[in-house]
Amino acid sequence: MIKHLEPKAKMALIILAAINPVELTKGCGADFIAPYHKFITKSLVESAKQRGLHTFTWTVDEYSKAQSLKEKGVRGIVTNKPDSI
């Protein structure tokens, strides 16, 4: 596991679908949760935050969608259009 080689490394669990993504992320020892943007809700972000996880997502190329995710509490977004997001 990466953390054995580099204890300071931060890891995210990238999730397309899961029954309980926050618990899955914690169980894997990841530092961040990274669900696909279409599955992010404010409730998911709040649940992750309560468990000490920041939420990141991927791949968002529309400004309005990025703003909506930011309002839900998402901390980071992977995009193909960094100049417009």
**Residue 38 falls within a domain, yes or no?**
yes
Please, what is the angle between helix 21-28 and helix 42-50, to 10°?
A: 30
Please tell me the predicted confidence (pLDDT) of residue 44: 97
**Could you tell me if residue 56 is inside a domain?**
yes
Question: Is 5 within the bounds of a domain?
Answer: no
**pLDDT at residue 33, rounded to an integer:** 98
Residue 6 resides in a domain: no
pLDDT for the residue numbered 75: 97
In this prediction, the residues of the chain whose per-residue pLDDT falls under 50 are: none
Into how many domains does the chain fold? 1
- Write the DSSP assignment of the chain as a string of letters: -HHHH-TT---EEEES--SSHHHHHHHHT-SEEEEBGGG--HHHHHHHHHTT-EEEEB----HHHHHHHHHHT--EE--S-TTT-
In a domain, 2, yes or no: no
**73 assigned to some structural domain:** yes
Q: Which range of residues forms the domain containing residue 24? A: 11-77
Q: What does pTM read for this prediction?
A: 0.89
